[in-house]
Amino acid sequence: MSNSQLTPGIVPARLPAATYADNFADHEPPFDVHEARVAADRCYFCHDAPCMTACPTSIDIPLFIRQIATGTPDAAAKTILSQNILGGMCARVCPTETLCEEACVRETAEGKPVEIGRLQRYATDVLMAKGVHPFTRAAATGKRVAVVGAGPSGLACAHRLAMKGHDVTVLERRPKPGGLNEYGIATYKATDDFAQREVEWLLKIGGITVKNGVTLGKDVVLADLMADYDAVFLGIGLAGVNALRAAGEDLPGVQNAVDFIADLRQAEDRAAVPVGRDVVVIGGGMTAVDAAVQSKLLGAENVTIVYRRGRDKMSASGYEQEHATQTGVRIIYGAAPVRVTGTGKAEAVEFAYTEDTPEGLKLKSETFTLKADQVFKAIGQTLAGVPDGITIAAGKLPRNPAPKLWCGGDCALGGEDLTVTAVAEGRDAAEEIHVALMGTAG
């Protein structure tokens, strides 16, 4: 093929074949032993450490870093994984700059936090490379739990339940387990099929059966699960995508950012993934950034993120925004789409500038138009496929809507929609289920 960055339309192979491997290589390469020791030396072993408080899974960060510093990364990994069984993925995808590393006292002291995320990755990588699973199951309880959704919350819940001696069946609608770890994370953040390797490693605990291609509401209904199992956990994520509510939304070329990200993740050959010459991404979260950056890495000539509010309101962190602009993505703040135009396919998007007023966001009269052969919608996901009988609150499922039924992760109330929060909720639900089933903790 002889496509280039300048080829009009949505086409594959815009770049020389050799560039893809580089473009989608590990975003932050792992520490080697020496780098890890130097980075670990910087930790002050704070009392009641602020980083630990900032971590949704409350990993004992000073302890694991000290374990790295003293040459025992396996012990460090166990400290991490005992709180967060997906500590390996979290080390790659957590916005540490707004979590643990933002709280680090060395951020206060000299604007350079201890590199907690990369140290966590170092320890978990070392352990996983040995193929060691450091946890064992308690004596079998004879209890059976169904977990719906093999995403971060479902997996964390399943692992903790299995560890406590329960038998777990995980039902997943997609062909592979992992949820957003497998389908939703930017390719360069989880290279080398990490999401699948992590799931395989997690399942080594035993006692967990994963069934892929099983959709709740279609292949199985909640009432039957509730009848068949001693408890049910729903970690079904947010399967719906918000609409633009702008004219022309249905034109070919207008697409959900999440689908693009998933397709790219699943593509055997990145070069085969088509991308526009002029890409416009609408939204302000991590999904918008991931779609925009990857469009650029696939060879789009112009990529613009348009977010309706100001920079500080954007839910993608400052670090993420910087990463986008460094990759060559342009970010326009304070503008909302009015219509997508084009004959037979998307050709441009018209935007109006916005104004934040006490009555909410208002469109101003000034408008501008961006050329766009591909438009990504990244304005949030919504709950979809809620089983009958559950009353949703604030667009989410309650954490414990009925006896024997728990919910966690992005679909459930509480916390930000982050992998790490999902892990915490899945784990905590497992603890509660255990108490409910056994009548006692421990």
Which residues contact another protein (rule: CB under 8 A)? Answer: 37-38, 41-42, 44-50, 105-106, 108-109
Query: Minimum CB separation from another protein for residue 49, in Å?
Result: 8
Q: Across the strands, what pairs with 87?
A: none
With respect to another protein, which residue has the nearer C-beta, 39 or 85?
39
**Cβ count within 10 A of residue 244:** 21
The helix/strand/coil state of 26 is: coil
Q: Rounded to whole angstroms, how far apart are CA atoms 145 and 164? A: 12
Query: Minimum CB separation from another protein for residue 405, in Å?
Result: 38
With respect to another protein, which residue has the nearer C-beta, 36 or 264?
36
Query: Minimum CB separation from another protein for residue 64, in Å?
Result: 17
Cβ(35)–Cβ(114) below 8 Å:
no
With respect to another protein, which residue has the nearer C-beta, 58 or 212?
58
Measured CA angle at 133 (ends 152, 234), to 5 deg: 25
Query: Minimum CB separation from another protein for residue 423, in Å?
Result: 26
Query: Minimum CB separation from another protein for residue 139, in Å?
Result: 36
**What residue ranges in 149-247 does DSSP mark as E strands?**
167-172, 208-212, 231-234, 240-241
Query: Minimum CB separation from another protein for residue 48, in Å?
Result: 6
With respect to another protein, which residue has the nearer C-beta, 104 or 202?
104
**Exposed / middle / buried, residue 53 (Cβ in 10 Å: 0-12, 13-18, 19+):** exposed
- Spell out the residues 6+ positions from residue 259 whose beta carbon is closer than 8 angstroms to its own: none
Concatenating the DSSP letter of every residue in 44-66 gives: ---TT-HHHHHSTT---HHHHHH
**Exposed / middle / buried, residue 262 (Cβ in 10 Å: 0-12, 13-18, 19+):** middle
Query: Minimum CB separation from another protein for residue 76, in Å?
Result: 17
With respect to another protein, which residue has the nearer C-beta, 58 or 108?
108
Query: Minimum CB separation from another protein for residue 18, in Å?
Result: 39
With respect to another protein, which residue has the nearer C-beta, 109 or 243?
109
User: Residue type at 296?
Assistant: K
- How distant is the alpha carbon of residue 357 from its chain centre? 32
Query: Minimum CB separation from another protein for residue 108, in Å?
Result: 5
**Cβ count within 10 A of residue 38:** 12
Closest CA to 86 of 383, 316, 323, 409: 409
Q: Rounded to whole angstroms, how far apart are CA atoms 360 and 354? A: 10
With respect to another protein, which residue has the nearer C-beta, 41 or 219?
41
With respect to another protein, which residue has the nearer C-beta, 44 or 368?
44
Closest CA to 272 of 8, 24, 12: 12
With respect to another protein, which residue has the nearer C-beta, 55 or 405?
55
